[in-house]
Chain A
């Protein structure tokens, strides 16, 4: 059996569904496949997303998939020193809403369907080959094997991306660039402030951090990411220790466990090759500092969808034409990812003691007028060593 389409999108996460939606909007015939029986589940995500990011993508928040609105950020150093950041004063990535991804992802797929995309769930891509100027993807669904012939294939198949690799793109993430993430969704979480995202730094999560993202009432995502190259324990073991030691979770009970890898080494070198584009986690479109990837992945999906739709309608499916997607994505991010990468390297270079002294210095700082000068002045006071490390990086 052979199915023909203009654009095939593999993976119905937020990036894939956004790509499918916009390719369809731009007039292309689109098929969107996902290997899972339920789009959006299980989640592999802490579910934080910025309001500004959603707005830029033209998505209006809906009560069906927003669980909670965030106002503040609470940063906790290894010895428990707290630094508060206020949303109004500091622009914070990933602060805004905490989503219900299971519902959100489905809604994004529904939007793609409403734009005209055909969705095939429980459908796994098994392989890809080039035939003439088209791509044939072999897929399997409910015991049936079939081929899909497409002019353009968009790989939105997550950090385990195979579409990109099949097409000859290097999308392998090295262990030192892949956070090992694990999370409980918990009830009876006792937070200082129910409207704050909480971040915990230091050796409790080597190479990463722990988080508590509130989902309303006494419910929260409690998780952490570690770099497997920096610890011998599994992320799960680290999380058990964190939950035991953190005051907010001493009475908390888990109702769900989530796991997953987060590529934090920056975007892959090439996101486009002949007839194939990759978007989202598959392309490393993840903030290297925070590990947040919903907005940047969906932005990738938006551009990939628009570019593929336009290329189809102009019947000009060349690598150069498709490369517009990659160019637009980089322009949109600017140099922010490079800065986040440097900030992450700096953060990871600090010892628990240095983190504590920095937290102490900023504990009383009003973050209204923060600038580089203030930052350096404060750092010099508390930790010349930490400052020296900063100097080496920038």
Chain B
């Protein structure tokens, strides 16, 4: 997952993640990419469009 610089770590992405793969730190998001099932709910709900699926992976 690409977390763009304008992410403000509000955690809405983590709230809708069915797999619970997102850890929201004060100034950082950590994704457990192995467990991610690619539903993209996190990308969809981000209020500022800061998340992008890294299609290379």
Q: Which of B12, B13, B24, B25 has the most CB of A within 10 A?
A: B12
Known: A37-B26, A180-B46, A260-B47. A175 touches B14 (CB 8 A): no
Q: A165 touching B20 by the CB < 8 A rule?
A: yes
CB < 8 Å A-B pair total: 83
0/1 interface trace, chain B 1-34, chain A, CB 8 Å (1 if under): 0000000101111111110101111100000000
Distance in angstroms between the alpha carbons of A44 and B10 in the assembled complex? 8
Q: Which of A99-107, A228-236, A317-325 contacts B (4 or more CB under 8 A)?
A: A228-236
Contact-residue bracket for chain B: 20 to 34
Distance in angstroms between the alpha carbons of A235 and B20 in the assembled complex? 23
Known: A234-B49, A235-B47. A261 touches B11 (CB 8 A): yes
Cβ-closest chain B residue relative to A174: B16
Q: A228 touching B15 by the CB < 8 A rule?
A: no
Name the prevailing secondary structure of the A interface residues.
mixed
Which residues of A have CB within 8 Å of B16? 172-175, 178, 261
0/1 interface trace, chain A 256-282, chain B, CB 8 Å (1 if under): 011111010000000000000000000
Q: B45 touching A158 by the CB < 8 A rule?
A: no
Interface status of A190 (Cβ within 8 A of chain B) = no
Q: B26 touching A35 by the CB < 8 A rule?
A: yes
Q: A178 touching B48 by the CB < 8 A rule?
A: no
Q: B15 touching A159 by the CB < 8 A rule?
A: yes
Q: B48 touching A42 by the CB < 8 A rule?
A: no
Interface status of A288 (Cβ within 8 A of chain B) = no
Give which listed residue, B15, B18, B47, contacts A263 with CB less than 8 A: B15
Interface status of A137 (Cβ within 8 A of chain B) = no
Contact-residue bracket for chain A: 20 to 34
Which residues of A have CB within 8 Å of B41? 175
Distance in angstroms between the alpha carbons of A235 and B13 in the assembled complex? 14
Q: Give min CB distance, B44 to chain A, whole Å.
A: 5
Which residues of A have CB within 8 Å of B24? 35, 160
Q: Give min CB distance, A254 to chain B, whole Å.
A: 13
Known: A122-B26, A234-B48. A260 touches B10 (CB 8 A): yes
Q: B15 touching A236 by the CB < 8 A rule?
A: no
Known: A160-B22, A228-B44. A173 touches B49 (CB 8 A): no
Cβ-closest chain A residue relative to B11: A160
Give which listed residue, A172, A175, A229, A235, contacts B48 with CB less than 8 A: A235
Q: Give min CB distance, B38 to chain A, whole Å.
A: 15
Distance in angstroms between the alpha carbons of A257 and B26 in the assembled complex? 16
Interface status of A21 (Cβ within 8 A of chain B) = no
Distance in angstroms between the alpha carbons of A165 and B26 in the assembled complex? 20
Which residues of A have CB within 8 Å of B44? 175, 228-229
Q: A175 touching B47 by the CB < 8 A rule?
A: no
Cβ-closest chain B residue relative to A257: B8
Cβ-closest chain A residue relative to B19: A172
Can you list 16 contacts pairing A with B, beta carbon distance less than 8 Å? A124-B25, A158-B11, A159-B12, A160-B12, A160-B15, A160-B22, A172-B18, A174-B16, A178-B12, A228-B44, A228-B45, A259-B12, A260-B11, A260-B47, A261-B11, A261-B12
- 4 A-B pairs closest in CB distance: A261-B12, A160-B11, A160-B14, A159-B15
Residues on A facing B (Cβ under 8 Å)? 35-37, 42, 44, 122, 124, 126, 158-162, 165, 172-175, 178, 180-182, 228-229, 234-237, 257-261, 263
